[in-house]
Amino acid sequence: MARISGRRAYRLLQSIAYERLAASPEETKAAHTLAEEVETFGLKSEIETFKIWDYKIKTATLEVLEPFQATYEVKGYGLTGSTAAQGLEAELLYVEDAGDVNLQNAAGKIILMNEGLTVDKYEKLIKAKVAGFIMMGGPVWERGDIPQRSIRDTHFKHGKIPAVSMLTADAFKMVKRKASKVRIVLQQDEFEADSRNVIAEIKGTKYPNEVILFGAHYDSVPYSSGANDNGAGSVIIMELARMFADKPPLRTVRFVWFGAEELGLLGSFAYVEKHEKELEEIKYVINVDVAGGFLGKNVALITANERVKGHVETLARQEGLEMDTRLDVYSSDSIPFADKGIPGINFCRFGAPIHNRHDVLQYISPARLEEMAAFVYKYADAVVNAKFFPVEREMTDGVKKNLKAYLERRNGKSKEEKKD
Ligand SMILES: [Zn+2]
């Protein structure tokens, strides 16, 4: 009889704890590790590739020309195009969050902006005829890693503006010294590349056409070994797959390790698009994203109704596990399914570092991995083997509102309005 093991989960986590950028050879390697692991307990695995836009930065520089001369270290902003080989020279304007007031005088200039680029904001930069932009990132008080970012097709369908990222600590110096004219050089190759979803399934013994989908993304952000986000979720659902493989449930369980989540949920959106016709049979999505921290707090973000929230809350108390349960959306792979009306739940443990080079194994505990895996299994087992399926295809009005706002931020308001 199989049992959940935090040690085994941790060992698998160790084997994929390296930077796993979408469509990189490392992401591919991790996909194969997960696929092979699935086969060790007798399941078949399938790898579905999907195309994403990728890039390679060849040159990225920033020089201040007036009223003083200096160069600052920058990273090219992926998929924003290239400047002429000799670069782009223009007046510099600090526009803070790039609102309408500050953008009114931005035409033909290189703008410096605070962190955060929604599709709507990017569209505004295009309309304001900005020549180039510099985005800052990181704390003002120390020099860490320069953010390595890219835009998506949801942005660049509006046009391209060559851009670079710099440290906020450097931007502070540049603004303080009143830099007024700068030159940026950006040269990059842009191309389509393959990312991958890894899929495994166990057919239900009584209701094979009712599917509960378990999700976890296995890609990481730059500089990060993605132990917490989300190698941990990946190995937790692997433990569940092992349990269900040992004792097939009444309903079908499907496990999907998503690629390219960190670029904007690209793996799960690709899955939903590719399997559009089969979405009716997916009854529920159980997603794990960020878990296993020695320190932290357990959270369940539920994109469903009050009944589901009550169930999870009660079960957590029965199991003696502190869990903050909320009806809300979570920026993870349950979103594309929710967009199609499929309810979901996201299990997370917030606290240990994410999205930087400090997201490492050192902060992850085998015992906490085991605790989360055991709880998610207990809950999933109750749902998957229920005599009467306990999750309606329903979301509260609050959840729907938050989902709409999330999708507007991701895709731009105009697109969402057209859909209504
Ligand atoms: Zn994540």
Give CA–CA dist 338/391, Å, rounded: 13
Could you give phi then psi for residue 12, rounded to 5 degrees?
A: -65, -40
Tell whether pTM > 0.85: yes
Question: Would the pLDDT of 420 be above 70?
Answer: no
Whole-number Å distance, alpha carbon 134 to ligand 1 midpoint, is: 26
The reply to whether 298 falls in a domain is yes
Question: Would the pLDDT of 414 be above 90?
Answer: no
Residue recorded with tokens 């992401």 = 27
Whole-number Å distance, alpha carbon 178 to ligand 1 midpoint, is: 38
pLDDT band for position 418 (cuts 50, 70, 90) = very low
Q: Which domain, by its residues, includes 206?
A: 6-51+193-414
Q: What is the mean pLDDT of residues 10-39?
A: 98
Structure-block tokens of residue 107:
């035409």
Residue recorded with tokens 């449930």 = 249
Whole-number Å distance, alpha carbon 240 to ligand 1 midpoint, is: 19
Q: What is the mean pLDDT of residues 242-246?
A: 98
CATH number (domain holding residue 87): 3.50.30.30
Residue 202 shares a structural domain with residue 128:
no
CATH number (domain holding residue 282): 3.40.630.10
Residue 157 shares a structural domain with residue 227:
no
Give CA–CA dist 353/224, Å, rounded: 10
Start-to-end CA distance of the chain, whole Å, equals: 50
Give me the DSSP letters along 190-231.
EEEEEEEEEEEEE--SSEEEEEEEEEEE----TT---IIIII
pLDDT band for position 419 (cuts 50, 70, 90) = very low
Residue 278 shares a structural domain with residue 135:
no
Residue 142 shares a structural domain with residue 104:
yes
The reply to whether 113 falls in a domain is yes
Summarised one tens digit per residue, pLDDT across range 74-123 is 999 999 999 999 999 999 999 999 999 999 999 999 999 999 999 999 99
Question: Would the pLDDT of 417 be above 60?
Answer: no
Summarised one tens digit per residue, pLDDT across range 121-160 is 999 999 999 999 999 999 999 999 999 999 999 999 999 9
Q: What percent of the chain has pLDDT over 90?
A: 97
Whole-number Å distance, alpha carbon 29 to ligand 1 midpoint, is: 18
Whole-number Å distance, alpha carbon 290 to ligand 1 midpoint, is: 6
The reply to whether 66 falls in a domain is no
Residue 19 shares a structural domain with residue 96:
no
Whole-number Å distance, alpha carbon 332 to ligand 1 midpoint, is: 6
Q: What is the mean pLDDT of residues 277-304?
A: 98
